[in-house]
Every structure is written in C-alpha cells, then in structure tokens.
Chains A and B, each alone.
Chain A
Amino acid sequence: MNFRSVAELVELAETEGLKISEVMIRQEVEVMNRSREEIWEEMGRNLDVMGQAIERGLSQDGRSASGLSGGDAKRIQTYKETAPVLLSGETVLDAVASATAVSEVNAMMGIIVATPTAGACGILPGTIFTTAKKFQLDRDAMIAGLFVSGAIGYCIANNACISGATGGCQAEVGSATAMAAAAVVEMAGGTPSQAAEAVAIALKNMLGLVCDPIAGLVEAPCVKRNAMGAAIAMVAADLALAGVKSIIPTDEVISAMYKIGQDMPVALRETALGGLAATPTGKALERQIFQNTKEDE
C-alpha cells in the first residue's frame, strides 16, 4: 500500500475498491509502524483543535498585535445570518467564514493545525466542517476527510513543495485548496478519480499565486486568501462531482506548480520584498508596525 503520486493513489484506491482516506490510513499504519487506532485518535485530536479555532475565531472581535487582521470572520458570519439574499450561497459563505476564523486565530498566535502550513491553516477546517454540516456527517467522516487531504498533501509535498519561501502562495494556499477539494469530494460521496479531478481544478486556479505578505506577517493578504481558497475548494469539488475533468492530469498540474515556484523571483517568495508588500500602502504599514514593535521593547 504505497503511493508516490496522485495517479498511483487513485489507482490503488480504485483497484482495491477503497476510499482515498482508507489508502492513506493503511499506508500510515505500514510506513510508521503504528496502530490504526493510534493514528485515528491523533487525527481526531487535530480535528478538535480545528473546531476550537473556528469557534474562537467566529466569536472574537479583537485585532492581531500588528492591527492588520481580526474581526472579519465574525463580520461574515453576521452578514450570512442577516442578509436577505446571499450571492454565493450559505454553504460557500459558511466555509469562508470558518476559514477566515481559523486564519485570524493563527495571526493572533493562537493554537491551530498546520494544513499543510500555518499560512494556509483555515482552508481545511472551513471546508470540512461546512461539508459535514451540509451533509449531516459525523466526526468520523471529518477525520476521514482529513486523511484524504493528507494523502493529496503528501503527494504535493513530496513531488513539489508546500512552503511559501520555496514556491510562493500557490504552494501553501494552493496546496491546501487542492487538498480540501479532494476531501469535500469524498465526503460528498464522490469517487477517488473525481477527488483527483477536484485537486487539479482547484490547484490550476491557484497557479502563479505569489507569497507577498505585508511586513512579512502571515495576515494580509493571507487571511483573505484562506477565505477565497475555501470558496474555490467548494466550487472545484462541485465541478468534479458534476463530471468536469481537467485537461492536464493532476500530477502534471502539481509539477507545473513546482516549476512555476522555481521560476518565481525571490522577492515574491515570502521575503516581503515584492507584490502587495512592496506597494506604497504595504511599505507604509510595514514602517508603522515595526516602529511600534521597537517602541514596545
């Protein structure tokens, strides 16, 4: 039970008649020499940390130390509950609000789960909790969803990269969006190959996304990219479930992401030297924030 690519993962799942989550669990048991119960329990604890981060983020008004983020999750939630018409619909906004919540908690040095990174930590909780609510699925279904995401992330991390410093935001928020899309497909009852299509569709729409955090902080634009990543994941899952297929195979999309990352200038890879970080407002905020920290010392 060993896979190195998404194609191998799907083939293993489909020839053995297993779900992607099950293939991931079996590989983990074999490679790490741990019991199934132990692994399941650890993933369950991760899920619980995510749930707590959602709750905390949706209920807090505070801003982060820099003042760049905070309060938007609650704002979106209130809008969702009170607006007479929701343009993108309740499910998408639910995912977006929860993703924003977790991402805001991260910016405040709260406890989160890196999925695959802290910069992208909102997307999986946002989409998985929302999907469970939509289909009235239990905790076990969400844990299985995390294993699906883990399987996809494992392929991306080992064949490309998952750090903004190496591959830009496409490697972080892009990877998380792709991982989430696959989890949503399986949770919604889709097939392993539909999950793989969702990965390709989601990741294609993240290609080229640079990592340009204002003042080098994981806040702006990171929180909003988590919000939009969750939205893209939900829609990509819908497209895949509808039977839409990617022209470029999933593993080739992943390797394209890696090559684009290598071609990206250093200024756009988590150095806060380019992109939004280098705009007049970005620069002014940076000066303001670091002046404040110096005064604090």
Chain B
Amino acid sequence: MKYRTVFDIIGPVMIGPSSSHTAGAARIGRTARTVFGRVPKEIIITLYGSFAKTYRGHGTDIALVGGILDFDTYDERMPLSLQMAKKAGIDVRFVESEEIADHPNTARIHLSDDQGKLEVVGISIGGGKIEIVELNGFELKLSGNSPTLLVLHKDQFGAVADVATILAKHEINIGYMQVARKEKGLEALMSIETDQSVTPELLKEIRQKSGMYSVTVLNN
C-alpha cells in the first residue's frame, strides 16, 4: 500500500497551490536537508517532466528551496524562501531537464558545502506524498511505508553489525534491509525499514560508531 495513513489523504496542511508540486516538493527538499544535516552553501536542482514544465506556476522552485531551509509544508515563510536563501548567501541554481524520468514529478537535488556534498533524487507521487529513489548514486527501493533508517558510512567491517546490534538493543525489528557500496573501502549505504519507530537517542548511538557519515530516519 503506497498510502498508509489517513493523513496522507486528508493532509498535509500546507501552503498552496499544489500538493504534488508545492507540498511534495517541500518534503523532497526537506528530506535532502535532513540527510545533509546542515544548511548547504550551494544548491543545484534538476527538474524533470511536469516539474520541469510547470515549476514556476506552482512554486515548485520556492518549495524545494523552502524544504532545504528546513521549512515544513505549512511554514508561512515558504513564499519568501528564494529571497531568504539569497540573503543567507546560498547559491541556488535550477536546471530544466528534457530527459524523460520514470515519474513525471521528479527532482534531483545536489547540496554541497566545504565539508561535503549530497545528491538526492525524489519523486512526488500525489497528495504531498513523496518517495526518495536515489541517494548519492545509490538506487533505493523503499516501500515508503515504514520508518526507514538511511546510514551513509565508510565501507568497512563491522558497520552493519554495529547498526544491527543497536537496533536489537532497542528491540527494533528489521523488516527490510539493503546494503550497497560503490567501491571497496569507500562510501556505502545501508537502508533499513523497521517495524517500530526509531528514537533520536538511537540515531545518536549509531552516529557515535566509527565510520558513520550520515544517519537519518524517514517516515518515522
């Protein structure tokens, strides 16, 4: 089931005018921001399909940047996000792609600063609901229906065991797990769907383990 809660249908409370092109866009931006963990210096957003064709009219650009500034869908500062980003010295660029993406409402967000960079591809599937389909080049196959732990880490022995042990200690069951890396010893990604909600303390515990770059939970 793509939509799990009644509030996916009756909600979100949001700044208009479009749930997919404004609220969904804000959520994609905010997810990218959450994974990145801080305000970026540079934002490059590539828009595909209907996003590329109609983003100006729907305020998709405003909402994506608002999300990256950590605004929720109903934040009244939303209409001012582009100006606020500019004022904060953030370099924002939009690219309209002619390429056909799998979903008509697709955005690729590139965030960077002196400390690092992140690339997230999100799709807005309707009614404000989103899916993250790619993270730093790793393809994600998430149901979007369970709390999902995304752990970017150094590819080294013991990383998976560390995370699994902490989850077990907190009595959290793993429903689905995907482990991927690009090259031996470099960046790797664990995506873990859990049956129970994940607490901030648990995230903190994982972050303290060696080789953890970024620890985020979605749909919690």
By a beta-carbon cutoff of 8 Å, the part of chain A in contact with chain B is: 4, 24, 27-28, 31-33, 39, 42-43, 45-46, 49, 66, 105-119, 121, 124, 146-147, 149-151, 153-154, 157-158, 161-166, 171, 179, 213, 215-219, 266, 269-273, 289-290, 293
Of all chain A residues, the one with the shortest Cβ separation from B4 is: A31
Between-chain CB contacts (< 8 Å), 12 pairs = A46-B7, A105-B16, A116-B126, A117-B127, A118-B16, A118-B18, A153-B9, A153-B10, A158-B3, A166-B126, A271-B50, A293-B56
Q: A24-B6, A218-B58 in contact; A113/B11 too (CB < 8 A)?
A: yes
Q: In angstroms, how far is the closest chain B Cβ from the Cβ of A227?
A: 16
B15 interface residue per 8 A CB criterion:
yes
B128 interface residue per 8 A CB criterion:
yes
B40 interface residue per 8 A CB criterion:
no
Binary A-proximity of B1-21 (CB < 8 A = 1, otherwise 0): 111111111111111111110
Is there contact, CB below 8 Å, between A49 and B127? no
Binds A, one of B74-82, B87-95, B148-156: B74-82
Is there contact, CB below 8 Å, between B128 and A114? yes
List the count of A-B residue pairs having beta carbons below 8 Å apart: 168
Is there contact, CB below 8 Å, between B2 and A157? yes
Task: Give the number of chain B interface residues (Cβ < 8 Å).
Answer: 42
Of all chain B residues, the one with the shortest Cβ separation from A179 is: B9
B191 interface residue per 8 A CB criterion:
no
B29 interface residue per 8 A CB criterion:
no
A45 to B7: give the CA distance in the assembly, Å. 12
In chain B, residues 1-59, which have Cβ atoms closer than 8 Å to a Cβ of chain A? 1-20, 22-23, 49-50, 53-54, 56-59
**5 nearest interchain CB pairs?**
A163-B126, A216-B54, A106-B16, A153-B9, A150-B6
Is there contact, CB below 8 Å, between B57 and A216? yes
A43 to B5: give the CA distance in the assembly, Å. 12
Binary A-proximity of B66-102 (CB < 8 A = 1, otherwise 0): 0000000010101100000000000000000000000
Interfacial chain A residues near B15, Cβ < 8 Å: 109-111
A33 to B219: give the CA distance in the assembly, Å. 13
Of all chain A residues, the one with the shortest Cβ separation from B126 is: A163
A43 to B79: give the CA distance in the assembly, Å. 26
Is there contact, CB below 8 Å, between A272 and B78? no
Is there contact, CB below 8 Å, between B10 and A43? yes
Interfacial chain B residues near A179, Cβ < 8 Å: 9
A164 to B56: give the CA distance in the assembly, Å. 17
B125 interface residue per 8 A CB criterion:
yes
Given contacts A149-B10, A272-B54, 16 further A-B contacts (CB under 8 A): A107-B17, A114-B23, A114-B128, A118-B16, A119-B17, A147-B10, A151-B6, A157-B8, A158-B1, A161-B126, A162-B127, A163-B126, A217-B57, A271-B50, A271-B53, A290-B56
